[in-house]
Amino acid sequence: MKIPVNEPLLDGNEEKYLLECIRSGWVSSEGPFIKEFENKFAKYIGREFGVAVSSGSGALDIAVQALKIGAGDEVIMPTLTIISPAQSVIRAGAKPVLIDSDSKTLNMDVSQIEAKITSKTKAILVAHLYGLPVDMDPILELCKKYKLYLIEDAAEMHGQTYKGKMCGSFGDISIFSFYPNKHITTGEGGMIMVDNPELDKRCRKLRDLAFEPKERRFVHRELGWNYRMTNMQAALGLAQLEKIKDHIIKKRDIGNAYQKNLREIQGFQLPLVKTEYAENIYWVFTLVADTQELCENTMAKLSIEGIGTRPFFWCMHEQPVFKDLGLFIGEKYPVAERLARNGFYIPSGLGLNLENIKYITDSLLIIGASKI
Ligand SMILES: *Cc1c(COP(=O)(O)O)cnc(C)c1O
């Protein structure tokens, strides 16, 4: 692929801090960069505590267990997102209750949530997708009214705000991912954000095999995971965090250049530039084709031109693995089903340059005009 769908940018202190790990011998999760990265990222998001973990998906596993969500409980979440949150909830023995998407913001349709709340509902899990945050005020109200926990999946939203307040600052537990296609990366990694000191302690314990602080070592009272982050990952994270403002500006520049070059394109819905409550941060640049055929043909054609693309997430109610478990049988979410079939995104990694953008948009305009 001449232009991969993502390329990270590692042009700050990454090398220097990594060398420090190697020279000092601090490579494990006991190293000093972990605390520094946790504290600085928590401060950036405006939270009391950050708990660094080995992935965003691991952060979600811990979030569900830390809130003691289990058998008999329901968690409301979007059907269209990555599999991680549904997987965490199902593994915990609880049931995901799904919500359709909003066709414009690509996020879950907040107006459909209240009708799905039952006496079993324990939490609402919000995932901000692709670049725009979910409309949080109505959700915060529902959580208050029905006494529900809020889990916030802000894996794609580093530095994005909702009405001026940081994404990742809303949840009882919020999580981030530092996979290489996110605004900052640690290679693999994630962070749990909380304000409550008890929850902070609980999350730290669960990421560390649930060792008991006061018990004899290797005596356990609960199941946990080894989801620790290494000092080397935190070294990358610190260097990336120093440049997060530049990364966000660059991502928005890429998004704006695409918007400008593609404004005349036929057959595709471009992402919203903004909503009442946020400007798009363009985690990725999305295109929703008028038909599934146009979507698939366009991705194939771009691939021949050396341009990498990715389809949208696939709906939870259409996942073979969940069907096999007898879940979501007969459920239908028409907007999300259409977005999953017709949506894809084009390269927008931080390594992308203006020439790449012109090449990509020229190719797309020809495809759009001919509609293949
Ligand atoms: C990337 C992502 C995750 C998972 O993060 P990993 O670090 O890859 O496990 C979770 N939720 C959303 C919405 C994501 O985009």
The band of 132, judged by pLDDT with boundaries at 50, 70 and 90, is very high
- Residue 81 has a CB neighbour count (10 Å cut-off) of 27
pLDDT of 85 above 90: yes
Alpha-carbon gap, residue 267 to 344, rounded angstroms: 13
Alpha-carbon gap, residue 181 to 284, rounded angstroms: 9
Q: Are 66 and 150 in contact (CB under 8 A)?
A: no
Alpha-carbon gap, residue 309 to 185, rounded angstroms: 20
What distance in angstroms lies between residue 127's CA and the mean position of ligand 1's atoms?
A: 10
pLDDT at 371: 58
Q: Are 332 and 315 in contact (CB under 8 A)?
A: no
What distance in angstroms lies between residue 365's CA and the mean position of ligand 1's atoms?
A: 31
pLDDT of 372 above 60: no
What tokens appear for 167 in the block? 């994404």
What distance in angstroms lies between residue 53's CA and the mean position of ligand 1's atoms?
A: 12
- Residue 28 has a CB neighbour count (10 Å cut-off) of 13
Atom of ligand 1 nearest to the CA of 58: 9
Ligand 1 pocket, residue 82 CB under 6 Å: yes
Q: What is the pLDDT of residues 291-334, one digit of tens each?
A: 999 999 999 999 999 999 999 999 999 999 999 999 999 999 99
Estimate the crossing angle of helix 84-91 against helix 56-66, to 10 degrees.
Answer: 40
Alpha-carbon gap, residue 159 to 248, rounded angstroms: 7
Ligand 1 pocket, residue 57 CB under 6 Å: yes
pLDDT at 368: 72
What distance in angstroms lies between residue 218's CA and the mean position of ligand 1's atoms?
A: 31
pLDDT of 352 above 80: yes
Question: Which residues is 194 bridged to in the sheet?
Answer: 49
Alpha-carbon gap, residue 249 to 300, rounded angstroms: 30
Ligand 1 pocket, residue 127 CB under 6 Å: yes
Ligand 1 pocket, residue 233 CB under 6 Å: no
Ligand 1 pocket, residue 61 CB under 6 Å: no
Provide mean pLDDT across the span 265-276.
96
pLDDT of 128 above 90: yes
Alpha-carbon gap, residue 99 to 190, rounded angstroms: 25
pLDDT at 84: 98
DSSP-assigned letters across all residues of 29-79? TTSHHHHHHHHHHHHHHT-SEEEEES-HHHHHHHHHHHTT--TT-EEEEES
Q: What is the pLDDT of residues 179-232, one digit of tens each?
A: 999 999 999 999 999 999 999 999 999 999 999 989 999 999 999 999 999 999
- Please count the residues of the chain: 372
The band of 367, judged by pLDDT with boundaries at 50, 70 and 90, is confident
Ligand 1 pocket, residue 78 CB under 6 Å: no
Ligand 1 pocket, residue 88 CB under 6 Å: no
What distance in angstroms lies between residue 155's CA and the mean position of ligand 1's atoms?
A: 5
DSSP-assigned letters across all residues of 279-308? B---SSEEEEESSHHHHHHHHHHHHHTTB-
Q: Tell me, what DSSP letter sits at residue 350?
A: T
Start-to-end CA span in the chain (Å): 22
**Residue 292 neighbours by CB under 8 Å, 6+ apart:** 341, 342
Atom of ligand 1 nearest to the CA of 177: 7
Best of 60, 80, 84, 128 for a ligand 1 pocket test (most atoms within 8 Å of beta carbon): 84
Q: Are 128 and 151 in contact (CB under 8 A)?
A: no
What distance in angstroms lies between residue 159's CA and the mean position of ligand 1's atoms?
A: 16
pLDDT of 7 above 60: yes
Provide mean pLDDT across the span 68-92.
98
The residue whose CA has the least distance to atom 13 of ligand 1 is 155
Stated pTM of the model: 0.97
pLDDT of 1 above 80: no
Q: What is the pLDDT of residues 135-145, one digit of tens each?
A: 999 999 999 99
Alpha-carbon gap, residue 83 to 32, rounded angstroms: 33
Q: What is the pLDDT of residues 148-185, one digit of tens each?
A: 999 999 999 999 999 999 999 999 999 999 999 999 99
Helical H segments across the chain, by residue range: 14-24, 32-45, 56-66, 84-91, 136-146, 197-207, 231-242, 244-261, 292-304, 320-324, 334-342, 354-370
**What are the φ and ψ backbone dihedral angles of 237, each rounded to 5 degrees?**
-60, -40
Mean of per-residue pLDDT scores for the chain? 96
Q: What is the pLDDT of residues 43-72, one digit of tens each?
A: 999 999 999 999 999 999 999 999 999 999
pLDDT of 117 above 70: yes
Characterize the bridge pairing of strands 173-177 and 149-153: parallel
What distance in angstroms lies between residue 40's CA and the mean position of ligand 1's atoms?
A: 21
Q: What is the pLDDT of residues 226-260, one digit of tens each?
A: 999 999 999 999 999 999 999 999 999 999 999 99
Could you tell me which of 318, 340, 341 has the C-alpha nearest to residue 329?
318
